[in-house]
Structures are given as C-alpha cells and as structure tokens.
Structure 1
Amino acid sequence: MNEQDARQAVEAAIGKVAPDVEPEDLEDGARLRQDLELDSLDFLRLVEVIAEGTGVDIPEADYPAVATVAGLVTYVAGHG
C-alpha cells in the first residue's frame, strides 16, 4: 500500500472512530491520544478499524510507533 492510500485509510478510520475530529486536525504530528483526544477504547477501536479496512494488524508492542497520525500512516503503508 502506498502512503497516499494509507493516509486515506487512516483518515477514514479516524473519522469512523472519532467523528468529532475535524479533518484539518489530522496533521502529521498530531498525537492520537493527546491531540485528537482518543481515549484508550477509541484507540483500540481505531486499531480494529484499521485492521478491518486494510488487513494491517497492529500488535500492542507497536503501539508507540503509531502514536501520531504520521506514524500510523507510515506503519500502515509499510505493512499493507
């Protein structure tokens, strides 16, 4: 999966899990838990939606690598 497709998948997944997050808030450096205010259940749901939509499973050990929008996009692009 290329980075553009990964970004679209990530943005769609965030929109599904946190519909109150504005698209302009999805900057690369935005932290999912702190800046986008996803709580732990939202984050786990996001991981689940990403897996369903892209086939990319994110193990718990890799959660630090996907703490930001850019990290999640890069991870999905690299594993998809």
Structure 2
Amino acid sequence: MTRDEIKYMILDIIQDIDDEAEFDGLDEDKPLRDQLDLDSMDFLDIVMELRKRHKLQVPEEDYPQLATLMSCVNYLEPKLKDA
C-alpha cells in the first residue's frame, strides 16, 4: 500500500466508526483523538478494524504510534508494504 492509500484507509475506518467525523481542516500531525473527538473505545475500534481488515496485530505498547494520521501512516507503512 502507498502512504496515501494507508491514509485513506485510516480515514475510512474512522468514518465507519463515527459517521459524523469531519475531516475538513484535519491536521495530519495533531492527535486524531483531540481533533475528531474520539474516545478510547473508538480508538480500540480502529485497532480492531485494522486487525479484521488487514490481519494486523497492533500491540498495546504501540498504540501511542497511532496518535496522529501521519504517525499511523509511518507505523503501518512497513507492515502493509506488500498489501
């Protein structure tokens, strides 16, 4: 997957979890939870969707690496390079 494909995949997962999520003006380098009003259950839903859709296991100690859209892309890119 390309970096853009990963970015859109994350946004698609967020949209599925919260259909009222607004991405206009989203800062890729600021925490998603703050910008999109995501709670801890929403975040766990994102992790579960990554597992379900792409067979990715994200260990709990890696959760901080999924804080921003760009950190998600940076973290997931090597894991999805062959996808």
If the length of structure 2 is used for normalisation, what is the TM-score?
0.82
Counterpart-to-counterpart distance in 2, 1:79 and 1:25: 28
**Which position in structure 2 is the counterpart of 1:21?**
21
Segment drifting more, 39-48 vs 49-58 = 49-58
- Matched with 1:44 is 44
Distance 1:19 1:30 in 2: 20
**Which ranges of 4 or more aligned residues in structure 1 deviate by more than 6 Å?**
none
CA distance in structure 2 between the partners assigned to 1:79 and 1:5 by the alignment: 13
Q: What 5-or-longer segments of structure 1 have no aligned partner?
A: none
Structure number with bigger Rg: 2
User: Hey, what does 2:63 align to over in structure 1?
Assistant: 63
Q: Which runs of 5 or more residues in structure 2 are unaligned?
A: none
Given the two structures, how large is their TM-score scaled by the length of structure 1?
0.84
The answer to whether the 8 A contact 1:11-1:26 is kept is no
